[in-house]
Structure 1
Amino acid sequence: MILTKILFIILIIVCLCFYVLYVWDFALILLIVIAALPIIMFITTLITKKLITVEFAVKDKNVAKNKDFPVQLVVTNRSIFPIGKAEAHIEYYNVFSDQVSAFDLYLPIQSRNSQRVTFQLSSKFCGIIKIRSAYLNIYDPLRLFRFKTAKNICTEVAVMPECHEIGGIVHYTDRVNEESDIFSEYKPGDDPSEVFDLREYNQGDKLNRIHWKLSSKKDDFIVKDYSLPIDVPCSLFLDLKCYEDSELTLPVFDTLIETAISLSQFLLENERGHSVIFFNSSQNRFVEHTITAPSDLTVLISEIITSLRDDLFCQSPEVYFSENNSLSYASFSMISSATSHKMLDHIDENIEADFKNAILVVNSAQSLAEKLSGYQSLSVIPVAVGKISASIKDIDI
């Protein structure tokens, strides 16, 4: 571009010399045209800059890990002047990481038209992918001037976590809440307000449970099994506070979220009602979701991912524990990347639960297991980054 300007200045000087040496009307006209041309280029390109808009178009805002998804850069030119060359600088990054990737797109822009350029992105880790146009450079036809526009035009895409197979034992020691309106789908109980199942009479069944009307039609005794009211006695606490500020930050966060989602899915598959507690940074408070169906888990995943901020701000679990002094569960599991003895001591000594687990995402699982053993009622389960299924094989929950 500098070379083009130098050549054009030389051309103007040559035309000026031509006008001085030859007193012709043509020489004057040529000098005026050559001298006016940069001014015309500047004005028309400036007008075009004012009439250009840029936006991103994303068909699906929720995408899967490790799969390409298309993003379109849409450039609309409302002026009558075309742009032969435009250069867009695109940047993208995961909110879990401060590593920004970038690339350039080159395109012409027709007058009174919209140009769409499609590019593909993918992510190895879950989270929010932020995509922005750092700037759009447009050039006049002679490449004399460059104008910068469309700074910091942004869009976001949520990369969904994957569920992993979990091994372990699910204990059905529900602390029954007689006032609960949530009933077990797999276990009968003693609540006559809801019928769990109808079956044939077995010796020892209570006579008051015989369905007399249906028995008369079947010529056999049919017995009613009542339903089991359940509360939400099993809880997962997802600690999203960043304890790892390095190149491992992104894989650690990815493993944290997928561990929590996989445990929740594991409990659902075993018909275990539970709650998931985490800090929603967009709402600046701890939230608790009751999970009793796959649809609840879908909502939970979406809220966890979309609640994250660029600065990864998250209140410490100690804040939640201090505000909720008397916590009682049938099962309590903390998923965190912290190895704080203070936090683990608090869970071991102050949280009442039949089964307590501290599931800690670390780089070296073996060294952590030796360091954090010896708790009375707390089971410490180290999870190596990216190795969820291999790490959680014998959990009691």
Structure 2
Amino acid sequence: MSKKISVGFVNTQKTAGRSSKIPVVLRLQNRSKLPVANMIIEIEYYNTLDGDKNTMKINTPLYPDDVQYLTLHVSAKHYGTVRMNIKRCRIVDMLKLFKIRVSTDAASRLFGESTFTIVPDYIPIENNIANYAEMGLETDDYSKTSKGDDPSEIFDIHEYHDGDKINRIHWKLTAKQDKTMVKDYSLPISNSIVLMADLHLDTNTDDYMLVYDTLVEAIASISYYLIENDTPHKVVWYDKKKDLSEVVNVTDEESARLLISLLLQASVYDEPDLSMINYINEPERYKCGHLMYFSPAYNSNLSGVMNDNDLAFRYSYMLITNKKKDDVINDEFAEVVNVTAKHVAESIQEICL
């Protein structure tokens, strides 16, 4: 009889916020003519970041020659990828004297695992964004909403208004339309801001997952805010498995979502500042307007290393902490900002991006 019973997940991959209740659907099929009084399904689940495994048990009857669907509503405390797999299924008689293990067939193996990714909730911020266009940073990106003075790209063409410059008149179009038409040049937008994530976490502390959440939340919030304000930027971290710096160009909402997906898949490591060390050693890197370094540990020598390697015009050391700190760290080359868990917007509200 056990060979005629199959169990599997219907939805094998989902994305949700941390505050959401995620519906996970199990499909149970009994192809035999006999009912099952009670079947025990053991489901193992864990966050891939810490690997801390938990188990839940489900008890349900199965009707003969029938397909049933069970919906579980689950949630997660921390960001990252959560894996659920069907660990074991057993049939139990009404008196609970006998237990028969349900065999794993090809279908069960195929649908026996479900993953869902917990992504950061959007935290609204209203920081000032500095204009780095005058710093000579090379770019191929131009503003979609604001005109500028770069004649290599045309932003818009419109009929002449008082105050328009004579040298902006589009003479060919003016001759064709028998009215004066004027060109608006484009505003170049350089990838002038770099957000760098140091994924070094001390797993021996009780709050390291909270620190991780805060780091991801801060980067996601700033990245989304920059895109809302038409400001392309780069996000960098060290990929331990590939042994290289991972660089994501964030130019729109789609690439912002891709960034979060890739960042949540990245593995953490024990040694601090690997992101910065590997970035400095990359053969191709460029000077940016503002480098924001997100790290759970402060290294007093690091900002000097950044400055010596001429990585940016400005440096911000975003120190991720689990509790508020009143002390102010004075750094010769970088502005040090304490980014506190559960108070991200408040922590960064004064900094000019």
Interval of TM-score (by shorter of Structure 1 and Structure 2): 0.7 to 0.9
| Separation (CA, whole Å) in 1 of partners of 2:228 and 2:174 | 34
| Separation (CA, whole Å) in 1 of partners of 2:348 and 2:193 | 17
Write the mapping of 1:1-397 to structure 2, written as runs, cut at 5 A: 48-58=1-11, 61-140=14-93, 143-149=96-102, 153-174=112-133, 175-176=135-136, 180-185=139-144, 186-196=146-156, 198=158, 200-201=160-161, 205=165, 207-212=166-171, 215=174, 221-280=180-239, 285-305=244-264, 307-308=265-266, 312-313=268-269, 316-324=274-282, 327-366=286-325, 369-370=327-328, 373-397=329-353
Q: CA deviation at 1:79?
A: 4.1
Distance 1:322 1:188, change over 3 A: closer
Distance 1:318 1:172, change over 3 A: closer
**Contact 2:154/2:183 (<8 A) preserved:** no
User: What is the aligned partner in structure 2 of residue 13 from structure 1?
Assistant: none
| Separation (CA, whole Å) in 2 of partners of 1:199 and 1:281 | 56
Q: CA deviation at 1:71?
A: 0.9
Q: Which moved more, 1:325-334 or 1:386-395?
A: 325-334
TM-score (norm 2): 0.84
Q: Structure 1: which 4+ aligned runs deviate by more than 6 Å?
A: 216-220
Give the aligned residue type for 2:85. Answer: R
Distance 1:270 1:321, change over 3 A: same
Q: CA deviation at 1:62?
A: 1.0
Specify every segment of 5 or more residues in structure 1 that has no aligned partner in the other structure, as ranges: 1-47
**Contact 1:97/1:249 (<8 A) preserved:** no
**Contact 2:159/2:179 (<8 A) preserved:** no
Q: Which moved more, 1:106-115 or 1:275-284?
A: 275-284
| Separation (CA, whole Å) in 2 of partners of 1:59 and 1:146 | 28
**Contact 1:238/1:336 (<8 A) preserved:** yes
Deviations 1:203-224 (A, max 9, x none): 582x332123555688875431
CA RMSD in angstroms comes to 3.0
Distance 1:284 1:377, change over 3 A: closer
Deviations 1:260-316 (A, max 9, x none): 0111122223322211112346756432111121222122222222x245xx45882
User: What is the aligned partner in structure 2 of residue 45 from structure 1?
Assistant: none
Query: Secondary structure of the residue that 2:29 maps to in structure 1?
Result: strand
| Separation (CA, whole Å) in 1 of partners of 2:348 and 2:256 | 20
Q: Give the structure with higher Rg (CA).
A: 1
Deviations 1:304-347 (A, max 9, x none): 22x245xx458822442342276411111111212233434423
For this pair of structures, how many residues does the alignment match?
342
| Separation (CA, whole Å) in 2 of partners of 1:300 and 1:365 | 28
| Separation (CA, whole Å) in 2 of partners of 1:319 and 1:304 | 18
Q: CA deviation at 1:257?
A: 0.8
Q: CA deviation at 1:385?
A: 0.8
**Contact 1:191/1:228 (<8 A) preserved:** no
| Separation (CA, whole Å) in 1 of partners of 2:287 and 2:241 | 28
Deviations 1:90-142 (A, max 9, x none): 23233344544433211112344333221111224322122222322212466
Q: CA deviation at 1:394?
A: 1.4
Distance 1:332 1:55, change over 3 A: same
Distance 1:249 1:350, change over 3 A: same
Give the aligned residue type for 2:344. Answer: I
| Separation (CA, whole Å) in 2 of partners of 1:147 and 1:267 | 57
Give the aligned residue type for 1:323. Answer: N
Q: Which moved more, 1:329-338 or 1:236-245?
A: 236-245
**Contact 2:46/2:84 (<8 A) preserved:** yes
| Separation (CA, whole Å) in 1 of partners of 2:82 and 2:64 | 32
